[in-house]
């Protein structure tokens, strides 16, 4: 590994670390309003949905299979199932559909 690569990696590490460090350093004593807390609690779910949705549409040749798998996962999650159960239920549904069709 040459020096240029090490400088690039170090630069990316610093650029990634700064946005995480600054709020912890300067905003630890400031109270966050409840409405902003409610918004921030939903950010991970929105980001995860944005990352997963394109994959749902391209997971199988037939989009209907993907949508049925996603619907199964949504229902299992809505009913309060554990993450492993949500994933396994979706996989089981798709395996069943693949065997039938």
Average pLDDT by stretches of 10, the chain with 101 residues: 92 93 81 89 85 84 89 92 91 92 82
Give the per-residue pLDDT at 101: 82
Residue 76, pLDDT score: 93
| Residue 74 and residue 100 in contact, taking contact as beta carbons nearer than 8 Å | no
pLDDT of residue 43: 87
- The confidence score (pLDDT) of residue 83 equals 85
Query: What is the predicted pLDDT for the residue at 14?
Result: 95
């Amino acid at each position: 590994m040459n020096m240029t690569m090490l400088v690039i990696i170090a630069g990316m590490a610093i650029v990634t670390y700064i946005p995480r460090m600054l709020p912890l350093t300067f905003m630890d004593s400031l109270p966050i309003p409840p409405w902003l807390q409610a918004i921030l609690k939903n950010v991970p779910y929105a980001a995860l949905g944005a990352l997963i949705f394109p994959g749902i549409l391209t997971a199988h040749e037939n989009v209907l299979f993907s949508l049925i798998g996603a619907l199964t996962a949504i229902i299992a999650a809505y009913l309060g199932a554990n993450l492993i159960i949500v994933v396994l239920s979706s996989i089981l549904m798709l395996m069943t559909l693949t065997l039938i069709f």
